[in-house]
Structure 1
Amino acid sequence: MGEAEIVHATRKWVEDVVVGLNLCPFAKRELVRDRVRFVVSDAQTEDELLQALHAELQRLEDEPDVETTLLIHPDVLQDFAIYNEFLDAADGLLVYLELEGVYQVASFHPQYQFGGTQPDDAENYTNRSPFPMLHLLREESLERAIAGYPDPDGIPERNIQRVEELGVEKMRSLLAACFREEGDDGESGGGRPATG
């Protein structure tokens, strides 16, 4: 699968799942304003991914018009347990770069599993994405959005309730649909170019 197809599948997931199910009430505004950067890393190792993460953090520093970045890494950290361990290294990089509290790295993965859940529990789909990715967020923007939102602490609970009501099969089908062009017969289409 080429870069354009990977970006297309990820954008469709953001549009149909994250925004469509209102899992993140703050995402739609930035998506509509074209302030979400979708970037596909060709990293093959954890070290290469850390270098890509460093580069994207620097880009956010240099380009204030980019609100948030989805760093998609399809070729590394396919196993969720290893991906989960890598998140400590990602946080360590923020500390090393003295960017802790400036940026936050949120985690999404095709095999995402919250502690204390079974692999097929519906609630895991709140963080399941088409590909492994790191979501780079500006802390200041997040705090501002949360401050203007009623009951932000209730978002995770409402998200779990929403996906449990839809059920595992529906969530699986929504994820699978990200790999198809609208109205096609299942063949992968040309995709959309990356933004940012």
Structure 2
Amino acid sequence: MDLPLYDLDTIADATGNFSMDNKLGEGGFGPVYKGKLRELKEIAVKRLSETSTQGLAEFKNEVTLIAKLQHRNLVRLLGCCIQAGERMLIYEYMPHGSLDSFLFGKGLELADASMGPSSLPVAEVMKCIKVGLLCVQDRPEYRPTMSSVVEMLGGDSALLPQPRQPGFIVAEDPSETNSSTSKQDSSTNHVSMTMLEGR
């Protein structure tokens, strides 16, 4: 790996020994903590859940893949920590929180301020945001079909199902069968990786 490996003691010091006061949230990966390195650089530490079945080789592959996904619109991975049974990802800290905090209940903050409150159809904006969130549900069977999307955009916003929390915030119970949409014609995400080898 080309990323820096951080020492467990350094990360524990930076997060106040993983203090609850520094806990930012919890996702499918595990808890996320805010920390400050000695260089006064603020970091976010994703600590792999103890119940995770991910092996060390899988974790290293994931770190390598994430490191290659550097982009100006993505939080930068600074390094990782693999020590004493702990596996952590160290990211740059983004002070304004995650996108979901703006989307759930604060949709109007996304609108262009120059539009002004009188020219902004509040119900229409909220309906579009809600439909968009329904289309990117973590599990494909929860996503609406295209015909349902067209109906939702043209219909009454009061009848729209509530979007579920994103999968990266709270891991869902795989045995859960309650679905907000029918299980027909849902889309799925696919990723394929190819390794080239010389002869």
TM-score by length of 2: 0.27
- Tell which structure's C-alpha radius of gyration is larger: 2
Bigger relative contact order (CA 8 A; separation at least 6):
1
TM-score by length of 1: 0.27
| Bigger share in helix | 1
